[in-house]
Amino acid sequence: MQLLKKIFDFYIFSNIHVALAGFCLTKITLIKFGCTASFSPLFVAFSIITSYNFIRFYEIKTEKLGRFKAWFLNHKNNLIAVTIFSLFGIGYVLFFTSLNVESLLILLPFAFMTVFYVVPIFKKRNIEVSFRNFPGIKIFSIAFAWAGVTVFFPLYEKGFVFNTSVCIEFVQRVLFLIAITLPFDIRDLQLDSKQLRTIPQVLGVKYTKILGTILIVIFVLLGFVQKNNVSTTVIIAIITLLFLWFSNVHKSTFYASFWVEAIPIFWLCLILLFL
């Protein structure tokens, strides 16, 4: 039992779980637009592991890592090994598959947002300003970066024209990502600096959940506009709302880090089931 817990902890904290979620979101986009043969989901997964672990190493180096610091320090070598493996995975996809390398250009603004999520863009009066600690924009930077990577990138890589359907899919994905990120902000309500002005800090937990509900309703309505996988859109919306409304500051770490982050995995499974 102890061994299983160690494996599970490593699966979560080494960012393999969140990478799988990114893989699924990218795959969902491709399926929705009638394209299944692509290496972009694999590239996204390896990139998430690499970038998220880079963030962790940067936080360790600059002594900014608060949550799980002891775990990361105790497993630093294993994290380095996983990150190196992911870098090799990225190299494999780039040089030994049919992935359109020119499509990486569209990732530049989202890569910028990822790097400067923790790395300071500039300093003002000894205060480091990054997307993560800039008041009010953390959740939006996460949603836009993830939506860009999981919608624009795979479609651009396959040569799709960015028409109205693609733009609606992007907006829909942003709304979904904000909604599933809100439980994390609710969880961290008592830990986050008041200067961050996260949505729960500004609106309170109740109105944060109401806002998330409004976003999910719009998410569903856009699904009807797309007329694509409507049934799975409704089901995943209900699942997301349940996790949002049951979230609170007392939930365990794994409520958000495992179950909420598993929603994209559930979503892909539902789409494959209804195909």
- The whole-number pLDDT of residue 62 equals 61
SS3 101: helix
How many other C-beta atoms lie within 10 A of the C-beta of residue 136?
Answer: 12
pLDDT at 194: 75
**What distance separates the 2 farthest-apart alpha carbons in the chain?**
56
Note the pLDDT of residue 127: 58
The verdict on pTM exceeding 0.85 is yes
| pLDDT number for residue 134 | 65
Structural domain boundaries enclosing 25: 2-274
Closest CA to 179 of 109, 241, 131: 241
Q: Which long-range contacts (CB under 8 A, 24 or more apart) does 50-55 make?
A: 50/83, 50/86, 50/87, 50/90, 51/111, 51/114, 51/115, 52/15, 52/18, 52/19, 53/14, 53/15, 53/79, 53/82, 53/83, 53/86, 54/83, 54/115, 55/114, 55/117, 55/118
Helix (H) or strand (E) holding 156: helix 153-157
Name beta bridge partners: 127: 124
Cα separation of 79 and 92, whole Å?
20
8 Å CB contact between 68 and 49: no
CA 274 to chain centre: 24
Q: What whole-number distance in Å separates Cα of residue 23 and Cα of residue 207?
A: 31
What pLDDT does residue 188 have? 84
- CA-closest candidate to residue 247, choices 237, 263, 260, 229: 260
Q: How many domains is the chain built from?
A: 1
- pLDDT per residue, tens digit, the chain (275 aa), is 788 988 998 999 999 999 999 999 999 999 999 987 899 999 999 999 999 888 888 777 665 666 677 788 788 889 999 999 999 999 999 999 999 999 999 999 888 877 766 666 666 666 566 666 666 678 888 899 999 999 999 999 998 988 999 999 999 999 999 999 999 999 988 777 777 788 898 899 999 999 999 999 999 999 999 888 889 999 999 999 999 999 999 888 889 999 999 999 999 999 999 87
Q: What are phi and psi of 66, to 5 degrees?
A: -100, -65
